[in-house]
Amino acid sequence: MLAVVLGLPVATGWLAVRALLGTPSCRPRWAAVLFEASLGAGVGMGLASSLHFLLLLAGIQSPAAGLGLEAVLLAAAAWLAVHIRAPQGGAGGQRAFRWNWLLAVVLCVGAALAALAFATLSDANPTGDWDAWSIWNLRARMLAAPGDAWKSAYSPLLEHTHPYYPLLVAGFISRCWRFTGEVSDAAPIAVAALFQAAALALLVSAAALLRSACAGLLAGLVLLASSRYLWQGPRQYADVPLSFFELGAVALLLWASTLEQRRNTALVLAGACGAFAAWTKNEGLMFFGVLTAALLLMEWRTLGLRTALARWCRVALGTAPLLLITLHFKFLLAPGSPPFLSTSAADTLARLSDLGRHWQVLSAFAAEAWRLGDPWTHPILLLAILAAALRFERGSRQLPWAVAAGSAILVVMAGFYATYVATQLDLRWLLGTSLDRLFAQLWPAFLLVAFTILRWPEDLMVGQAVPGKTNKHAKKEKRRHG
């Protein structure tokens, strides 16, 4: 039964993304299928969580009503996928690299090992780590309670476990429990596994479509080398789901920059991913706000204010309906905010001017970057090697958007840094319990931006045949880029 309950929103999201983006004609074909499936899986779970919360607000708690409404959405998505014709052509790398099959084999082996590690850790600790059972799964249990008892999920009596945290993950898990009629550890484990697998698949497919198949496979390998990120999934926190939606927003905005058709629907979907990020964690709202502002400024500078506002409005069209759920929850049901900063401006300024605090935070950031992976396969080392070998792209259509997205990631990280320095909480404790999760939230999106601004790996292959080109033409292109 759990497989059906999980498969229903995943199938709905997949069909909806397929209909809205029209990716079937894009190349490489496998990347187009993987992109719409992975993005649709997360979007479907976000929609199901939001719908479930709206039904709770309306007093409709019947599993039959919820399943029936989701079945209607699935039928509508299927109709759209069948009747909306996909445009011909599309963005994406079409160059061939003869060793892609080997990279694919290594990626599959790495994914299998990551899945085995996930299963081992989940079997050893099925309830997840501290925040899983004290915040996210605790909220899910309350949301699954009968009658009006679900409202205790945001009771102010739970102030030490943050009742004002958004409820996308907890809401989706409680939906699974309500529909199956069983509160078990299987649902949160399966949800965590789905989001982590979808994040990997989305990164691989997005990089393959935006750059080339080889770039997508390499991006996936770098993420699999990020053991610190992979460790977050079995903990059953909300940071991996947040990283998925942030990656989805960046991928869709970069994708929109390459499209002549379906650009508007890509921007609307990007807005929806941003809203889901806000409904997942508080940091998601900050990330999407900064990302939207960066892209708006970039478009204003390059295309003018009118075009920039027109595109921003399309993003807002996807964001607004779903963001209203988050705003309703945070302002009407569970007002409050984390006690990071004191009310005294003088105390805050004193902490900001303390050089010792700056050094402590900088040291923690450097240490966390070092812990991202093992020394000889460290993801930052792998990125540095690729950057030295490939160098950076010039003149790409995605480049301004990628630079804007990368700037937004850096601004968000700077915001995290400033919050740590200014916080009134115990700094050593806060860094030790949260910094690894903040890195995990941004890491997949950062990798996608990094591979978008690098040249195509195929450009290194002198004499490598490219579809539609002779070896002579490939050599000329190599000399032109090199």
| Per-residue pLDDT tens over the stretch 75-104 | 999 999 888 766 544 555 455 677 888 999
pLDDT of 470 strictly over 60: no
Residue 24 falls inside a structural domain: yes
460 pLDDT tier (thresholds 50, 70, 90): low
Residue 131 falls inside a structural domain: yes
Which whole-number Å values give the CA distances from 82 to 22, 36, 259, in the listed order?
A: 11, 15, 21
Judge whether 104 and 221 are in contact, CB under 8 Å. no
What pLDDT does residue 482 have? 43
pLDDT of 430 strictly over 70: yes
pTM over 0.85: yes
Mean pLDDT of the region 134-139: 92
30 burial level (CB within 10 Å; 0-12, 13-18, 19+): middle
What pLDDT does residue 362 have? 97
What pLDDT does residue 466 have? 39
Mean pLDDT of the region 290-313: 86
What pLDDT does residue 399 have? 85
27 pLDDT tier (thresholds 50, 70, 90): confident
d(CA 23, CA 149): 44
What pLDDT does residue 97 have? 72
Q: How many Cβ atoms are within 10 Å of 375's Cβ, its own excluded? A: 7
Residue bearing the bigger pLDDT, 235 or 302: 235
d(CA 216, CA 172): 30
Judge whether 361 and 427 are in contact, CB under 8 Å. yes
Contacts of 295 (CB under 8 A, 6+ apart): 253, 311, 312, 401, 404, 405, 408
Which whole-number Å values give the CA distances from 322 to 50, 104, 315, 473, in the listed order?
A: 8, 37, 12, 49
Average pLDDT of every residue of the chain? 88
Mean pLDDT of the region 437-466: 81
233: three-class secondary structure by DSSP: helix
Instruction: Classify residue 135 by its DSSP letter.
Output: I
Residue 94 falls inside a structural domain: no
Residue bearing the bigger pLDDT, 338 or 245: 245
Mean pLDDT of the region 34-54: 96
Residue 133 falls inside a structural domain: yes
What pLDDT does residue 226 have? 97
The percent of residues in the chain predicted with pLDDT above 70, rounded, is 90
The percent of residues in the chain predicted with pLDDT above 90, rounded, is 65
Task: Kindly state the greatest CA–CA separation across the chain.
Answer: 72
Query: In total, how many domains does the chain have?
Result: 1
Which of 170-179, 209-218, 468-477 is the least confident region? 468-477
DSSP letters spanning 253-265: HHHHTT-SSSHHH
What 430-437 contacts at long range (C-beta under 8 Å, 24+ apart), as own/partner pairs, is 431/360, 431/361, 431/364, 435/364, 435/365, 435/368, 436/228, 436/232, 436/368, 436/371, 437/232, 437/237, 437/239
The residue written with tokens 């991928």 in the block is: 251
Residue 166 falls inside a structural domain: yes
The answer for 261, left when phi > 0, alpha when psi is -120 to 50, beta otherwise, is beta
What pLDDT does residue 1 have? 86
How many alpha carbons lie under 13 Å from residue 117 in its C-beta half-sphere?
A: 17
Residue 371 falls inside a structural domain: yes
Judge whether 97 and 212 are in contact, CB under 8 Å. yes
What pLDDT does residue 105 have? 96
481 pLDDT tier (thresholds 50, 70, 90): very low
d(CA 141, CA 138): 5
pLDDT of 463 strictly over 50: no
**Residue 309 belongs to domain spanning:** 2-86+102-481
Residue 96 falls inside a structural domain: no
Residue 91 falls inside a structural domain: no
Residue bearing the bigger pLDDT, 306 or 196: 196
47 pLDDT tier (thresholds 50, 70, 90): very high
What pLDDT does residue 476 have? 46
Mean pLDDT of the region 191-211: 96
